A and B are shown apart, each in its own frame.
Chain A
Amino acid sequence: MVQTISLHHVLQEAVATPYRNLVTRATGIAVRGRIEATLATGGGHTALLDFSGVDCLDMSCADEIVAKLLLAAASGDRVLVLTGVREEQREALEHVLAHHHLAVAACFRGSDAPDVLGWISGDAREAFADLRRRGSTDVLGLAARMTWPVQRAAVALDDLAGHRIAQPIAGVYHVVTVS
């Protein structure tokens, strides 16, 4: 089950103003608190954080919301995916994710295909792009498609699975779905 959370709505509830900017650490803490409460009652396996309607995102808010939710998700089995992300928000997200050695799948506005943000190897990025373009496969399949040694393909897929950007089901790796 996918649980979608509109950050714009949560922001307006949290700060009780019409602002569209996710800025300041205090705001990030307030927004994250509401998201955690929603997730605790929702029970979904995949949480979709929807950035539609959000303009500016600063480092402090990105850290408090996205990084800390990902760090918390790492100790459970929840998958977090970002959607509705603006290209202008990429920098803040990349910065805080890299800082914590985290990565996440993100759909940018105007695109249905997810991208990878954060701390992930070049091989894992290429593997993710291949899974997205040519569909799910196992280690041997990826190695063949990329003309990589099997070990290299295994490490790349393991990296994706470790960040919960791809899910192995019976040895076949699937890019996280958002619908």
Chain B
Amino acid sequence: MTRVVEVPAHFDDRSFDQFAAGFDTWPTEERVLLDARATQWASPYGLVGLLTAGQALSEARKERPLLTVPASDEVRRYWTRTGFFAHAAELFEVHGKVPRAAATGPSDVLLDVTPIRASEDIHEIVGKIQENAARILTGELGIEAKATMGFAMALSEACQNIVEHAGTSGWVAVQAYTFRRRLGRRVVVIAVSDAGVGFRRSLESTQARRFGDRWGDGSALEAALIQNVSRFRDPGRGQGLAGIKRYLSRWQGKISIRSGTARLAIVPAWDDDVPLVDHLPYFPGAQVQVTIPAQNAEP
């Protein structure tokens, strides 16, 4: 038997729950086919989420999942350009025509889909991002030049959650695009995802008793993102997410974290997202999205 999981036509953080619901249970007993034929667009969050699904199934020693590529030639080319297919080939049995990677000049992709396995990968990522980030943040988003380093800092801290807490590797991608549906202006989005233990298991030994009956995926996210709690006893820990929040507050940015069955967001005025959503379809690990909007126009 094969379980077919449809990849939403417009695949981003909002439609991710629909994607997660397609698995029913984790790890699913049947072989999984991720069907992206009808997908017209995927955000960085969607792309790293797809790879996370493949990684989670691989780590659960399940049969190699299948992936059918988007029918749209344009979408396939774009996914190739982000580096998605190069990593997908290691995790999935890919069905469909995958374009060859073409030589690229400046693009909206600030950082290709990139694996995060160790601290050294984060050095590589931060080194790569700085030149592109300056071009996009100051040139397109109207953010002052000195904020570029803050962006690299936020990216570094978001990626470190994987190395420090996930217990496995993960993925990151950074892209600029026009956020028409909710904002009507350009944004830069950092998406980080892993197939690891998730926030609840990471914090359970130190926080579960404090929350009592309330303990769960939602309260674990609350402890980490709102209260800056870390599983480590070192009082210097837990500042990474706090630093990201501080940076985002200056630029009306948004951070959203999904882990297990919950999602928690710090929601800026331009967005209509719900701060905390519980009882979502389960998905392994943690998925973080950081969104920074253009500063040069009113929403």
Contacts and interface: CB of A to CB of B under 8 A. Distances in A.
Interface stretch (B56-64, B96-104, B147-155): B147-155
Given A55-B130, A88-B149, A68 B246 contact: no
B146 A87 contact: yes
Most buried by A among B119, B153, B240, B243: B153
Contacts of B164: 25
Nearest to A64: B236
Contact of A23 (B123, B146, B246): B123
A99 B239 contact: yes
Contact of B239 (A23, A57, A95): A95
A89 B126 CA distance: 15
B127 interface: yes
A17 interface: yes
Given A55-B149, A56-B130, A59-B153, A95 B243 contact: yes
A73 interface: no
Contacts of A59: 153, 157, 239-240, 242-243
| Dominant secondary structure at the A interface | helix
Interface string B132-147: 0000000000000010
Most buried by A among B123, B148, B157: B123
Interface residues of A, number: 30
Interface string A1-28: 0000000000000010101110111110
Contacts of A60: 156-157, 160, 239-240
A63 B163 contact: no
Interface in B231-256: 235-236, 239-240, 242-243, 246-247
B123 A27 contact: yes
Interface string A72-93: 0000000000000011110110
